[in-house]
Amino acid sequence: MRIDKMLANLGYGSRKEVKQLLKSGAVRVDDIVVKDGKQQVVPQSQTVTLNGEVIEYQEFIYLMMNKPPGVVSATEDSQDETVIDLLAVEDQVYEPFPVGRLDKDTEGLLLITNDGQLAHRLLSPKRHVPKTYFAVIDREVTEADVVAFARGVTLNDGYQTKPGKLKILKSGIRSDIELTITEGKFHQVKRMFQAVGKRVIYLQRISMGPLTLDETLELGEYRQLTEEEIELLKNYQVK
Ligand code: URA
């Protein structure tokens, strides 16, 4: 990363102000004065100082977003706004990416990080990390559906799902449910309901492994994970 970009992103001034800082000789990389803003630095392994003070640059970033509808869970998209576009520039510099995908119209818990190892572990099909969704269904959800989901249902491409835990919160001409699944097939929740002749009209993810959506986050808002949440994620073992 360019040194001027790193300093500007960390809030040490505009690009122009940072240029002045560099010109004044206040910035050192591994104890060598750097005046050229174009100089590349590797913040993870090099020590950058400003007037002798070490500039802290964390390696990993862990964010929890309450994903709003209408944005895609990707780092780039030619048509739609992405969840990364919603991040402040100071967070974008870490080059984070969403851990797994939520559909464009799905809301709720989305983990965004640049920790590839952690993401891989959470997404690995072998690990069966549970994900719980709240959904509104277009008709009555019954005990027969609970039983069918507990056995696993056949999706429209012939795939037999693993058991899902369906909880009926409110049953009627429209039903509120919670569904916990341990896989992440494309449109899985919507297709599981399709398999029993029903349609999901609202979908929100409320948890993923040990992480639960912070209800104080408005749609589109996000926050850093706490140290405790990061530890829980790193040490998470599926029971
Ligand atoms: N299942 C779906 O159908 N959509 C999502 O966004 C997540 C799970």
Rounded to the nearest angstrom, the distance between the alpha carbon of 6 and the centre of ligand 1 is 36
Q: What is the mean pLDDT of residues 117-132?
A: 93
13 backbone φψ class: left, alpha, beta (φ>0; ψ -120 to 50): left
Q: What is the mean pLDDT of residues 120-147?
A: 95
Lowest mean pLDDT among 7-16, 49-58, 142-151: 7-16
- Nearest Cα residue to atom 3 of ligand 1: 187
> Tokens 């990390």 label which residue?
129
Question: What number does the ligand 1 atom closest to the CA of 181 have?
Answer: 8
For residue 43, the SS3 value is: coil
Scanning 62-166, the segments in alpha helix (DSSP H) are: 89-92, 116-123, 143-151
3-state helix, strand, coil in the chain (%, to 5): 25, 25, 50
Known catalytic membership, residue 103: yes
From 105, 106, 200, the mutation candidate for ligand 1 (largest count of ligand atoms within 8 A of CB) is: 106
178 burial via Cβ count (<10 Å: 0-12, 13-18, 19+): middle
Question: What number does the ligand 1 atom closest to the CA of 191 have?
Answer: 3
- The one-letter amino acid at 22: L
Characterize 16-26 residue by residue with b for buried, 16 or more Cβ atoms within 10 angstroms of its Cβ, and e for exposed: eebbebbeeeb
Question: What number does the ligand 1 atom closest to the CA of 192 have?
Answer: 3
pLDDT, tens digit, 9 for 90 and up, residues 5-23? 888 877 788 888 999 999 9
User: Is residue 27's pLDDT more than 70?
Assistant: yes
Q: What is the mean pLDDT of the chain?
A: 94
pLDDT: is 56 or 222 the higher one?
Answer: 222
Rounded to the nearest angstrom, the distance between the alpha carbon of 121 and the centre of ligand 1 is 20
Ligand 1 near 102 CB (within 6 A): yes
> Tokens 């970009």 label which residue?
5
> Which residues does 72 contact at the CB level (< 8 Å), separation at least 6?
80, 81, 82, 83, 104
Two structure tokens written together for 63: 């964010």
pLDDT, tens digit, 9 for 90 and up, residues 167-220? 999 999 999 999 999 999 999 999 999 999 999 999 999 999 999 999 999 999
CB 61 within 8 A of CB 94: yes
- The one-letter amino acid at 236: Y
Rounded to the nearest angstrom, the distance between the alpha carbon of 215 and the centre of ligand 1 is 20
232 membership: H or E segment, kind and range: helix 227-234
User: Is residue 239's pLDDT more than 70?
Assistant: no
- Nearest Cα residue to atom 4 of ligand 1: 187
Rounded to the nearest angstrom, the distance between the alpha carbon of 187 and the centre of ligand 1 is 4
> Which residues does 51 contact at the CB level (< 8 Å), separation at least 6?
26
Ligand 1 near 190 CB (within 6 A): yes
How many Cβ atoms are within 10 Å of 228's Cβ, its own excluded?
9
pLDDT, tens digit, 9 for 90 and up, residues 67-107? 999 999 999 999 999 999 999 987 887 889 999 999 999 99
